[in-house]
Amino acid sequence: GAVVSQHPSRVICKSGTSVKIECRSLDFQATTMFWYRQFPKQSLMLMATSNEGSKATYEQGVEKDKFLINHASLTLSTLTVTSAHPEDSSFYICSASEGPLYNEQFFGPGTRLTVL
């Protein structure tokens, strides 16, 4: 149980295009989903927290107009990187939680984005 999927696993795009990444909880309802970014040999960096049906909460320094998050249902959240640039190239990982404080957070397999 507790499986989280992400699609696509890898994407290469040209500078200036937008990329959408999907995160799905396959066997549980995720009231909360999280989006992280990780650069090579660095720690996970939380970008935003999204709750189903409400606006995402972005961490300080993360541009909400550039990284659009939609949590439309209890099993799906999407991250859209708008007008991507080479510096946005990174490993994007989502995680999902069923909700209350003691529930674990499960990670998807990640999406590697390369912007040319």
- List of residues contacting another protein (CB under 8 A): 32, 34, 43-44, 46, 49, 91, 93, 97, 99, 101-110
Q: CB of residue 56 vs another protein: minimum separation in angstroms?
A: 12
Beta carbon nearer to another protein, 28 or 34: 34
Q: CB of residue 104 vs another protein: minimum separation in angstroms?
A: 5
Q: CB of residue 34 vs another protein: minimum separation in angstroms?
A: 6
Q: Closest Cα to residue 73, out of 28, 105, 37, 110?
A: 28
Instruction: Determine the Cα–Cα distance for residues 76 and 2; give it in Å rounded to an integer.
Output: 14
Q: Is 94 helix (H, G, I), strand (E, B) or coil?
A: strand
C-beta of residue 76 within 8 angstroms of C-beta of residue 94: no
